[in-house]
Amino acid sequence: MIDPQTLINQIPGATIIAGAPGRVNLLGEHVDYNGGIVLPIAIDRRVYIAARLRADQKMNLHALDLEQKVSFNLQDLPVRIDVNGKPLPVWALYPAGVAWILINKGFNVNGVDAVYSSEVPIGAGLSSSAAVELAFAVLWQSLVGWEVDRMTLAQYCQMAENQYVGVNCGLMDQFASAHGVARHALYFDTRSLDWRPLPLPPGTAVVVADSGVRRELANSVYNERRTSCEKAVELLHSHLPTIQSLRDVSPDQLHANADLLSKEVYKRARHVVEEINRVNLASEYLLNNEVEEFGKLMFEGHQSLRDLYEVSCPELDALVEIASGLSGCFGARLTGAGFGGCTVNLVAADKADDFIRKLKEGYFQKTHRKAEVYLCQASRGAYTENIPV
């Protein structure tokens, strides 16, 4: 874990430290682009930035983990070049994109000297990019002193990733990083933007297991799945004229109109409709502290992602299968886009260490791969702290 003092020591005269968490989604996978409901938590693994404000429009960034530095001027943001006229490196597009969108929205953004490091593993599906974006957003908010609500700030960061970086992500990642609540999951309606914290069961911990498989196929398959969902709505509309998305279709309505859809489109739609229903059930289980029932929904969600949405892979299936046989595990499933990345497990806190050891051992025996496994707790969202002089 990162000691923020290490970063502060890199920037003489640093005045502020910003932190923003990654996220993991407990339930509600592949429903955000269908107007659905998701249930993420912000995790206690964060991006940290130490910085000082500059009097000019120059950005000096040092990505400590990558051992890379870049300098660029804010007036050059539209052309994405550094002070030497070279294209900005990909890692710098995220903070640059946040500055670009904030300036476009009319906010003052000054130059900074900043060094940052991340506890959120890159490429594992835990939203390291959203954590970087939110950390820089709250950094500028605190340094310059303008006001904006957290949902709007999350939306600006999503716009930065969509329009500047060129990644077509939904809002869930930035929302969770901005709004995290310690010891709570976040029930988030991606259509209305309404949300509320729901208490996680006492005596439980969240374990995230990284399969080590990266999602090379995710983008093309993501587009195919999204197209199938849109096709389902188009075909169902003749019998259900009021629907706008699969969010508006009940499981009974989908089953009754299954003959309108091809086998593949029906499978994709069934996952989305039933997954949204699982999130609603899960919220009631959390409110009533019914941890076993909640865990069953996680296992059901994985089965649906594997068999209906077909976005799992043998390594993720192995992690879930091993977890299901270990003492103290209430539920497990893949989290994120699929085809690699991580699983999320809800386990009894007093058995978490034993669970992690046996999950690692079992995964290596089954796949000859090593899994990085993280013990996590639900965490607060992005924040800043002034550095004492």
The tokens describing 94, both together, are 């995220």
The tokens describing 111, both together, are 């130059």
Q: Cα–Cα distance between 4 and 169 in angstroms, integer?
A: 29
One of 173, 210, 307, 317 is an active-site residue; which one? 173
Q: Cα–Cα distance between 255 and 100 in angstroms, integer?
A: 46
Q: In 83-194, where do the E strands start and end?
A: 112-118, 184-189
Residues constituting the chain: 389
Give, for 93, the enclosing helix (H) or strand (E).
helix 90-104
Q: Which residues pair with 40 in a beta bridge?
A: 25
Q: Which residues pair with 58 in a beta bridge?
A: 73
Active site annotation includes 32: no
Question: Strand 372-376 relative to strand 342-348: parallel, antiparallel, unpaired?
Answer: unpaired
Token pair 């709004």 is at which residue? 179
Q: Cα–Cα distance between 322 and 332 in angstroms, integer?
A: 10
Q: Cα–Cα distance between 230 and 308 in angstroms, integer?
A: 16
Token pair 């989908």 is at which residue? 254
Backbone angles phi, psi at 195, to 5 degrees: -155, 160
Give, for 375, the enclosing helix (H) or strand (E).
strand 372-376
DSSP string covering 190-244: TTT--EEEEEPPTTEEEEEEE-S---TTHHHHHHHHHHHHHHHHHHHTTT-TT-S
Cβ-Cβ contacts under 8 Å for 19 (sequence gap 6 or more): 4, 46, 47, 48, 49, 135, 382, 383, 384, 385
Q: Cα–Cα distance between 248 and 243 in angstroms, integer?
A: 5
What amino acid positions are annotated as catalytic residues? 173
